[in-house]
Chains A and B, each alone.
Chain A
Amino acid sequence: MASRRKPSFDAQAFLESAGVARKIVEYRRGDAIFSQGEVSDRVLYIQKGGVKLSVLSKSGREAVVGMLGPGEFFGEGCLAGQPRRVGSATAITGSTILSVKKWEMVRLLHKQHELSDRFIAHVLARNIRIEEDLLDQLFNSNEKRLARTLLLLARYGKQDKPERVVPRISQDLLAQIVGTTRARVNFFLKRFRKLGFIEYGHDRFEVNSSLLSVVLRD
């Protein structure tokens, strides 16, 4: 459903069309789009850029639960009755975000097949990804989780070709995605580099396909 339906419907063009109450906001890298605890009354759609979804624990630790790109929705928890944001959304690069009021989104999803198809495809894909992330936590070591995170950021396994070069992403952020400390991330990155799996400068990573061996071996 996901891949078959996509070309037939352009969610972006639809959401931008006249008659849909929405607003378009530009964010710079590092800007907060919404914060944990805020009233949750809008669904957002990434037109351009990238967004990090994170949750802060009471003790101040941060965990990253999603890294999203163009064509993805977020903030959809308000449709499931979440009155407040359970996490924060931050622009990880310059981003153009379309925002649709909850009631408008409910109305559109009920009326427009194409939009509800597209939205269901998004929710299913997100479901699969979160379930995989959860399994990764339940099954795998920190090292394997870091390798998987880097491969996914480089879009390995996507239908479009892998990007290989991952834009600069701090070791702190990697630690929050993987669920470990910055020191461990640093240790494994050095190891991956020594083995020729990755190359990195201070502003980017290059991920080689040989990194797959870390994920695939038992």
Chain B
Amino acid sequence: MAARKRIAAAFDPEAFLKSSGIAGKVRKYPPDAVVFSQGDACNSVYYIQRGTVKLSVLASTGKEAVVGILGPEAFFGEGALADQPMRLATATALTACALVLVPRRQMTRLLHQHDVADRFIAYMLARNARLEEDLVDQLFNASEKRLARTLLLLARFGKPEGPRRVLPNLSQEVLADMVGTTRSRVNFFMNKFRKLGFIEYNGGLRIHNSLLSVVLHE
């Protein structure tokens, strides 16, 4: 915890943008706009200044999987730094977004500034921890529990800044792609959760504490 605080405190995203001279490359995207598509050339990294981005992968069978929903101060497209020639996923703006585009070369150079390297390492470690949890979730849990966990994480339960109880509009298709199940199963469980009072549709989707019981039950 202390390490993360120290690393995070040492980094100021605004200063990062100014000092690196890339502040002019902020791009705006309306909701549902595609930032890049699976198979596109992969030569830049993105930093989210404002908004929410969905990362998804399409299988050759046409099935879609969501591998991440990212918010402000997250990086994505970092595969460019690992010499991936093509994008392995599609990035879509879920809400209106302001994104900073950093060409690969410039990012490699930026990573030699201590604070940027620290911040980037902290971000990647957090992202890997989350992906590993998602993988373990797939290996262990039933789709009902996975859906409950996805909703709780989207509502930021367990985050220091406290839960945000009303979720932005996410379709049942997107939820199904995140959980790795079908839309009809998502619909079935959402109705069940609503009947049990765990969630509520009331000007958006509200998540109650009681939903934790689904995840905590063995």
Contacts and interface: CB of A to CB of B under 8 A. Distances in A.
Contacts of A110: 114, 117-118
Contact of A128 (B84, B121, B136): B84
A67 B111 CA distance: 28
Contacts of A128: 79, 82, 84, 88
A83 interface: yes
Given A80-B129, A128-B82, 9 more contacts: A1-B82, A79-B7, A117-B111, A121-B82, A124-B79, A134-B67, A135-B57, A138-B63, A179-B138
Interface string B1-12: 111111100000
A123 B1 contact: no
A78 B108 CA distance: 25
- Chain B, interface size category, equals 35 or more
Interface in A1-40: 1-4
Contacts of B22: none
Given A133-B135, A138-B65, A218-B60, A80 B126 contact: yes
A195 interface: no
B136 to A, nearest CB: 5
A117 B134 CA distance: 27
Given A83-B1, A113-B112, A120-B81, A127 B127 contact: yes
B1 A81 contact: yes
A55 B128 contact: no
Contact of B3 (A2, A78, A131): A78
In order of increasing CB-CB distance, the 7 nearest A-B pairs are A81-B4, A80-B125, A63-B139, A137-B138, A138-B65, A124-B82, A179-B139
Contacts of B122: 79-80
A33 to B, nearest CB: 17
B3 A106 contact: yes
Given A81-B3, A179-B138, A138 B126 contact: no
Is chain A's interface secondary structure helix, strand, loop, or mixed overall? helix
Query: In the complex, which of the residues A81, A123, A135 has the most CB atoms of chain B within 10 Å of its own CB atom?
Result: A81
Interface of A: 1-4, 55, 57-59, 61, 63, 65, 76-83, 86-87, 102-103, 106, 109-111, 113, 116-117, 119-121, 123-128, 130-131, 133-135, 137-139, 179, 218
B129 to A, nearest CB: 6
Interface of B: 1-7, 57, 59-61, 63, 65, 67, 78-79, 81-84, 88, 108, 111-112, 114, 117-118, 120-122, 124-129, 131-136, 138-140, 180, 218
A130 B82 CA distance: 14
Contact of A130 (B57, B126, B131, B139): B131
Given A61-B140, A120-B111, A139 B59 contact: yes
Contact of B134 (A59, A127, A134): A134
Contact of B4 (A65, A80, A138): A80
A77 B130 CA distance: 11
Contacts of A134: 65, 67, 131, 134-135, 138
Nearest to A77: B129
B130 to A, nearest CB: 9
A1 B83 contact: yes
Contacts of B129: 77, 80, 82, 86
A1 B117 CA distance: 14
Given A80-B126, A83-B1, A120 B120 contact: yes
Query: In the complex, which of the residues A79, A80, A135 has the most CB atoms of chain B within 10 Å of its own CB atom?
Result: A80
A3 B83 CA distance: 8
B79 A135 contact: no
A6 to B, nearest CB: 11
Contact of B121 (A78, A120, A131): A120
Contacts of B1: 81, 83
A125 B117 CA distance: 16
Contact of A123 (B3, B67, B114, B128): B128
